[in-house]
Structure 1
């Protein structure tokens, strides 16, 4: 286990290094001048040059990237060009909101999507399978922003049961954005769960268990269901890593103060330190979510060894 973790951490460090290099290079080549944006449109050329020199933007690419990397490994991603706030504390301030939305949204995705998919695969009633297929098509076809607006109109305006947006009302503010996020992704989990369970039900060990007279419920729960969870676990880990980097559309619709909105504002302002911070934070979330799911594989299926 220890050697596995060390190898994965080494590869994770390499992945993050490549992500930082690529992102920094793109920011360096963007045909926009952050110094001009900071100084304003009416600033003199001398003022712009002074700001560019102060920020180190007049240095070669390798010098700028080396300075950024040296500070980043110490947890210092610099200050935002726009707000002059430190990047990492700003991201960590938004992180609890992003984490709450990601976990609640994933809970809805699994609760709704996986339940529908596994029910469709485990029953022989064609009507249920047809309803499940219809549900999948609807959730995949409806844009998340439109679904969010409809839910806001119905439950926030027409029947004011829930807040119209923001996070000021406490945990209840999370319900509509999390439900929207869950419904938007539930179709993928339903389709994956159905396909995975049908594949497992066709395996030899399942047919052998049935031939030995094992009760259908026991075959489903003890043999098939557990093995059908592995693809869903992989998908959940990937989704969690992505969502921890921010769910921009949901955050914009509901005014949720997450990392996705922070990253989008940084891109609009050519705020390179904030862009680097949010991108690397998102990449780190995805990398470590994959490490965790690899370790969980051995818990779900003892035949799998992480070593």
Structure 2
């Protein structure tokens, strides 16, 4: 039994199979799948809109431009989910991952271009005096790609045993596969970053994906490793996409899929108590 209050509650049906509390993008995904599986689903959201952090706003009066408000890029939306739910969503590949100014000379910086060929990448590293790290960078991210392709499918599969994933990676990548598993999964990632790269600027660029949004320590725990994995495994490529229309377009597509499946999405409905096992 769920006790809720708000202007939308009068529309709640009796005897729903599933009541989902909260209307963020994961809740909307669950609602869409459950409804399409034939369940009677009611989703309750305290705010006056669904989407949670994945919402868009028009911040400039008179300008019809929708910008992401909190979350801003798509990297961990499995293609299988988009296919299963028939999401009406346009994603554009982000070409440039980052630009990092050189603290010693702010007139120059390292531009990470996902479409750069070998010559362009070397020129970018040479501009910040990090040419010696080009080979290490290529080797590292080639190995990270192996890791991403091994782990990404597990996001939509029964959770495999850790040793099985490590064994699959070793079969696919040999010594490189075993090394990247050790460096990113078993040992604090800071050890590998310091060992593999010479330039502090390049080390910082790599470490950013392990630290952003956390208070983790690169050299003492594995929280940074988990953060790094979240940044590099998306879709088995690590690529990040920009949703046309901002992140609200993602939530809107998920909400549409849930409603099309028969789910009822109730906003302005604050849940005050949940009693398990009582209908």
TM-score by length of 2: 0.23
The structure, 1 or 2, with the larger RCO (C-alpha pairs under 8 Å, 6+ apart) is 2
Q: Identify the structure with the greater helix proportion.
A: 1
Structure with greater Cα Rg? 1
Q: Identify the structure with the greater strand proportion.
A: 2
